[in-house]
Structure 1
Amino acid sequence: MNPYQIYNPQYYDPYTHYDFDYYSQQQNFDRQPALERRVNQLERQLQVQKTELDRQNKEMGRQNREIARLNKEIGRLNNEVTRLSQNDERHTRRLNRLNQRLRTVENRLNIPFQATDGEF
């Protein structure tokens, strides 16, 4: 018997010594299938989330390309509107000059002018 309670590997008293390592290993062994199931479940969940994110990224890429195409079309339409507006301004200035010339001719020829006349 070891009176000083110094560890001696040859000394083992089954009534006073309890093998904690074996007990903890046994608990871990009992928990192992549950842990493996949980890890597998989390891995599947991650895979589903990755697949969903990949799908969303692909959809966002398609939407971004569509937005870029629509922006290009809007730019083209804006250029067309600007061109038509400038054309309209040119025609308006030309009509104003023609109206001034017409009034000058009417005044020289003493032709009465009425704004409600539909005829010349």
Structure 2
Amino acid sequence: MADDPSQALIETLCDTIVGLVRRDVPELTARQLGVLLTCYVDDGDHTVRGLAAELNVRRPAITRALDRLGELDLIRRAPDPADRRSVLVKRTRTGAAFFRDLQHVAAAAATSASVA
């Protein structure tokens, strides 16, 4: 493991991404993965507007990411009953399974990085 903590984090990130590449999982862009992780790590309801603000990107970029994640059944969109102008981003069973798999891959990468 590297002496620099940031180097160790980069190595763990690299091992995690390589672990995903080696699995039979959908390939996601960094933005799509960022949106997915935000929805699964942070509890509570998410909206397109809220995700755009949190990730500091424009709403159309979030919409495109959600389109792809929706095609893969990793998230779904639903109307917000409290505000009909807003759309809620919901988790799915497929997305939850993907997230659990990602957690296992990341844990293995972190373990191998701490051993190295």
TM-score of the superposition, structure 2-length normalised? 0.23
Rg larger in 1 or in 2?
Answer: 1
Length-normalised TM-score, structure 1: 0.22
- From the two aligned structures, give the one with the greater helix fraction: 1
